């Protein structure tokens, strides 16, 4: 309901009906519509973070980490369009409380990525900047792709984004040589 209608338009009556419960039952678990929506944002962000972390954890090397992370993110977008829209839709950014939840997710992803960046001589702040760049690249491109703007199939988009991220991470090493 929230993905289809947006936070403002979705009613607790409609959410309860869609969930197959009564509105009083819904309110037993969530004191307000804001609490329910915030909980959904938190759950979706946690699911996406865990899936990416698990995929990257199975990688055989740095380039494989990039490819697995990008593939998992885009596969989530393809397999869970409602959840992606819920987390990164335009309506979320217009509410400061919800936007803060999304920024928290983006920061947690960037922190995790920064820990994996291994470039000689690059300080932690530099790794974090690169990690935020990867998060932004992936999220923005996924939004563009999900809206049908690229005209490319999923595998091609994944290949382009993973290549750009990987080659971008290699550039600081080339500059220091």
pLDDT digits (tens, 9 = 90+) for 159-170: 999 999 988 777
Residue 95 lies inside a defined structural domain of this protein: yes
Sequence-ordered list of residues with C-beta below 8 angstroms from that of 25, at least 6 positions apart, any chain: 16
What single-letter DSSP state applies at residue 117? Answer: -
What proportion of the chain, given as a percentage, has pLDDT over 90?
61
Question: Which pLDDT belongs to residue 19?
Answer: 86
Residue 9 lies inside a defined structural domain of this protein: no
Question: Which pLDDT belongs to residue 94?
Answer: 83
Residue 18 lies inside a defined structural domain of this protein: no
pLDDT digits (tens, 9 = 90+) for 14-40: 888 988 899 999 898 999 999 999 999
> Tokens 């929506």 belong to which residue?
37
pLDDT at 73 over 90: yes
Say how many CA atoms lie within 13 Å of 9 toward its Cβ. Answer: 7
* CA-atom Rg of the chain in angstroms: 18
Question: Which pLDDT belongs to residue 139?
Answer: 94
Question: Which pLDDT belongs to residue 75?
Answer: 96
C-alpha torsion angle, residues 145, 150, 155, 157 (rounded to 10):
-80
Residues 55 and 71: beta-carbon distance below 8 Å:
yes
CATH number of the domain bearing residue 46? 1.10.357.10
Residue 125 lies inside a defined structural domain of this protein: yes
Distance of CA 121 to the CA centre of its chain: 29
Question: Structural domain of residue 94, as residue ranges?
Answer: 38-176
pLDDT at 84 over 70: yes
Residue 15 lies inside a defined structural domain of this protein: no
Structure tokens at 173: 């090493």
pLDDT at 175 over 50: no
Average pLDDT on 107-111 reads 95
Residue 21 lies inside a defined structural domain of this protein: no
Residue 53 lies inside a defined structural domain of this protein: yes
Indicate the number of domains in the chain: 1
pLDDT at 97 over 80: yes
DSSP string spanning 32-70?
Answer: SHHHHHHHHHHHHHHHHHHHHHHHHHT-SSHHHHHHHHH
Residues 117 and 130: beta-carbon distance below 8 Å:
yes
């Amino acid at each position: 309901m929230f993905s289809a209608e947006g936070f403002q338009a979705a009613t607790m009556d409609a959410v309860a009906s869609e969930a197959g419960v009564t509105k009083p039952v819904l309110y037993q678990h969530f004191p307000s519509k804001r609490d329910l929506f915030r909980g959904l944002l938190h759950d979706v962000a946690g699911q996406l973070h865990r899936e990416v972390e698990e995929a990257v954890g199975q990688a055989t090397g740095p380039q494989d980490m990039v490819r697995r992370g990008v593939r998992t993110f885009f596969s989530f977008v393809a397999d869970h369009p409602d959840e992606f829209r819920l987390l990164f839709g335009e309506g979320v950014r217009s509410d400061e409380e919800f936007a803060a939840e999304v920024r928290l997710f983006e920061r947690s992803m960037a922190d995790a990525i920064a820990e994996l960046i291994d470039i000689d001589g690059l300080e932690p702040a530099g790794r974090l900047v690169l990690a935020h760049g990867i998060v932004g690249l992936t999220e923005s491109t996924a939004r563009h792709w999900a809206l049908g703007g690229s005209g490319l199939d999923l595998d091609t988009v994944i290949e382009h984004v993973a290549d750009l991220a990987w080659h971008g991470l290699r550039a600081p090493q080339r500059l220091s040589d």
